[in-house]
Chains A and B, each alone.
Chain A
């Protein structure tokens, strides 16, 4: 669960880059307008030629601003899904959409060290507590990223299975030893150095998936090859009174 703090640092970095571009472009646009004013007043052919070149540059920069804003919006959208608090009642959501937002957030931390590939099946909206599931996806994704030394790939797959949605997240990381596999869901068990992992990530994940959603979570892991986590979430939640 310590991942949120680190992830936020990554998000800040990810926002500062497009923001830097926007600030710079705005400054250049202001300077350009000043120059254009003078060049147009001057009116000589070479001044007009220079003015045209400046206008072309400004057009490029305005287009870059659009891309930069779009980038920031996507990051903020990802953050918002986490900020919202789940009510006691489950909501109908498209899990693919939530996975996409969560993956977007991890990109900040993974940069291009890790490629995230998605293979999303056609999913109906299902009843669930989306913020809780986002937390689960985030924990598994961040774990997968930590398991990969250097460059690697994470594959996220979704499909409709009997009565529910199945999500699988596989990494090309170092895999777990038999002892680690045995204790993976144990509260407080971590392979990370003190201060980096709390050992609560998977314990909470299993609580959210199994107890809150009546689903199941399991994994397959092979040392040196990688790990795949599977989550099965039922399409319909039991109503509160029946729980």
Chain B
């Protein structure tokens, strides 16, 4: 928990280049209280999200075994609320369009990236995920309240009939 009583924003960095993870991790740890997880293996990252809540995923595009869009698509299935960011040095329009259409990308960043911009994207991505989660929780609470009300109404009607 941080000072505001929220769970710390959880950020996941996936890049087959260790140096990218080291750099981004060092930056986020210096400037934020985010919890940062780094993975060089996209399959390992996909397994991790199955039982750990993640707010923001920043993924490289070209990686062995699985590309960034495939990874983000898998994460979208398991944790639809996580904000998905593609960070790529392979700036072609095709992959950008594919990413936006297939995995409802939150942001598309190019390498070399700018730290201030990265921070803005990660922070707003975290905020967005938190709001989505809260919204879902509120809707669920409303649904159960609604169901309880319905139930009470049914019992009331039965009592009078």
Contact = CB atoms under 8 A, between A and B. Distances in A.
A binds B: yes
B22 A64 contact: yes
A112 B90 contact: no
Interface footprint category on B: 20 to 34
Contact of A61 (B26, B62, B111, B114): B26
A17 interface: yes
Contact of A111 (B20, B26, B64, B114): B64
A201 to B, nearest CB: 23
A9 B89 CA distance: 10
Nearest to A12: B89
A30 to B, nearest CB: 10
Given A28-B115, A112-B64, A20 B31 contact: no
| Most A C-beta atoms less than 10 A away, residue of B16, B23, B64 | B23
Contact of A17 (B20, B26, B92, B118): B20
Contacts of A20: 20, 23, 89, 111-113
Contacts of A60: 22, 26
A64 B111 contact: no
B23 A17 contact: no
A121 to B, nearest CB: 30
| Most B C-beta atoms less than 10 A away, residue of A20, A21, A32 | A20
B111 A17 contact: yes
Interface string B87-101: 011101000000000
Contacts of A16: 89, 110-112
A15 B118 CA distance: 19
A17 B89 contact: yes
B102 interface: no
Nearest to A30: B115
Interface string B108-134: 001111110010000000000000000
Contacts of B92: 9
B29 interface: yes
A181 interface: no
Given A21-B20, A112-B16, A112-B64, A57 B26 contact: yes
B136 to A, nearest CB: 34
B161 interface: no
B39 to A, nearest CB: 15
A31 interface: yes
29 contacts: A9-B92, A12-B89, A13-B88, A13-B90, A15-B89, A16-B112, A17-B15, A17-B111, A18-B17, A19-B111, A20-B23, A20-B112, A20-B113, A21-B17, A21-B20, A23-B115, A24-B23, A24-B115, A27-B27, A27-B115, A28-B26, A57-B29, A60-B26, A61-B26, A64-B23, A111-B16, A111-B63, A113-B64, A151-B64
Instruction: Name the 5 nearest CB pairs between A and B, nearest first.
Output: A16-B89, A20-B112, A112-B64, A20-B111, A24-B23
